[in-house]
Amino acid sequence: MIDEIRQKMRAIPGMDVLLEKEWTRQWQATLGREGVKRVINGELTRLRRRLLEGEDMDLSPDSLQKILEGLLRAEGRRRLRPLVNATGVVIHTNLGRSCLADEALAAVTEVASGYSNLEYNLDEGVRGHRNAHVEGALCALTGAEAALVVNNNAGAVLLCLSALAKGTEVVVSRGELVEIGGSFRVPDIMAFSGAELVETGTTNRTHLRDYAGAITERTSMLLKVHPSNFRMEGFTTAPERADLAALAHEKGLILMEDAGSGLLVDGKALGLEGETDVRACLAEGVDVVTFSGDKMLGGPQIGVIAGRELVVDRLRGHPVLRALRVDKMTLAAFEITMRLYMRGDYDAIPTLSMLRRTGESMKAQATRLAARLRRVTSARVSVAEVEDAVGGGSYPALPLRGWGVAVTGHPLGGAGRLQTLLRARDLPILCGARRIAGVDDALAIHVRTLRPGDEKELIQAFADLRPSELRPPELK
């Protein structure tokens, strides 16, 4: 047995020999010599370990080449790459949240491919401020006196607390001490900023008198936090925003609100209810609001701070701001997104367009897609009503009625197996799996979140899943 293992070990070619093979030279042109060496060396180490553990393996030259080329092919794929979102979750945090508008993409390419006036004032010929490119539009859209942008909403909250409340007390309702994705916890970010958390009220009921009773001489701020991806229902109470603002101003305090997703239009324009837009928050007396740019707003990842000029101006010179500043590509995309809002072109913003889709249009698309899929698969394909979601911590208790295609009875297996095969494609495809129209273990293709060109990829994917002798010679 030991002699057999030694013989197999000696049969494995050395690195120098492998690097001279024609098939590895081709990969060296793509990955570089050192990149190929790293992949091969890692796999040879694993193979030798498995041999020593007594595992029987085929390590013939052809088999070894197949193993190594598979790994090199995987290494050659970009780590961050596009995919097809057929899950029905519009603002999917794991899939990059919002898709950018075409105009925003063009602006990013134009600004990134050359020099720009990122921090240069063309009118005066002196150094400028990158925030100036978007502040005016933000103020116009939200009604704020001043606005500032940083790299994300967590950064916006951190900057506000550090600059406005460090070394002082901040009063927060116990029902708003939330933790959201990525372990962002309000108490932790509060402690990191140097502000002191003062809890008030109870988990489900906090009254105005609770806030008033928690205020001391060391209090500088009342903080209202968006609950993000959860909701409390039933026996709950929270003071009106205007009453909270009146209390804060009576005591000479700042009222800050972390609005989370950053809704810039009345939710009814999107067919949604239950969220307060940023303009309404400020109109009701909030001094400073923070929100995200890549959720309901539909732009790039960015954190926005909007509010009273005297408050926002206190943030501009804070040293934390430089660590959180926004790069030129993000600003280019965000400026164009703001312009689309300014002219009311909501359907040009993919996130808003998906949310505004009608049931009739989705059902029609699902019907067409189902008909095309039936031509390339022997599985059962049907049109079904599905439940979509806004995602990104927005409207967690509000399911969206959608339409999709249910695939069952596929010869290669159930929904789980199909999901694995579709994810493994060069352009991965992510679908849902659930009980649809009384059918268990159905692969669910939600059409709401499909982008232009995605249907073609889906058709090709299912054609590739057919036995080779049954595949059509050419897809139309």
Q: Mean pLDDT, 10 residues at a time, over the chain (476 residues)? A: 74 88 92 94 90 83 91 90 96 94 98 96 95 97 97 94 96 86 77 93 92 96 83 80 96 95 83 83 97 94 97 95 95 98 95 95 98 96 94 75 95 94 95 75 95 97 75 45
φ/ψ of residue 323, rounded to 5: -70, -20
φ/ψ of residue 439, rounded to 5: -105, 125
Report the C-alpha gap between 294 and 172 in whole angstroms: 26
Report the C-alpha gap between 30 and 251 in whole angstroms: 65
Q: What is the pTM of this model?
A: 0.89
Closest C-alpha to 162, from 284, 302, 291, 256: 256
Tokens found for residue 404: 């999709």
Amino acid present at 199:
E
Q: What is the pLDDT of residues 402-461, one digit of tens each?
A: 999 999 999 999 999 999 999 999 999 999 987 765 667 899 999 999 999 999 999 999
Report the C-alpha gap between 184 and 471 in whole angstroms: 49
Q: What is the pLDDT of residues 110-126, one digit of tens each?
A: 999 999 999 999 999 99
Sign of dihedral through CA atoms 399, 403, 409, 411? negative
Amino acid present at 420:
T
* Angle at which helices 2-11 and 33-52 cross, to 10°: 170
* Angle at which helices 22-31 and 33-52 cross, to 10°: 120
At residue 186, the pLDDT reads 84
Amino acid present at 224:
K
Report the C-alpha gap between 406 and 375 in whole angstroms: 15
| Secondary-structure breakdown of the chain: helix, strand, coil percentages, each rounded to the nearest 5 | 45, 20, 35
Closest C-alpha to 191, from 169, 222, 211: 169
Q: What is the pLDDT of residues 43-70, one digit of tens each?
A: 999 988 888 888 888 888 889 999 999 9
At residue 180, the pLDDT reads 67
Tokens found for residue 318: 């804070």
Set out the domains of the chain in order of their start, with CATH numbers. 2-76 (no CATH), 84-92+354-470 (3.90.1150.180), 102-348 (3.40.640.10)
Q: What one-character-per-residue DSSP string does 141-203 give? A: HH--SEEEEESSHHHHHHHHHHHHHTTSEEEEEGGG--EEGGGEEHHHHHHHHT-EEEEES-S
Q: Please, what's the b/e burial string for 371-405 (b: 16 or more CB within 10 A of its CB; e: otherwise)?
A: ebbeebbebebbbbebebbbbbbbbeeeebebbbb
Q: Is 126 helix (H, G, I), strand (E, B) or coil?
A: strand
Report the C-alpha gap between 392 and 389 in whole angstroms: 9
Give every CB contact of residue 396 below 8 A, 6+ residues apart in sequence: 228, 229, 230, 231
Residue where the block lists tokens 């081709």? 26
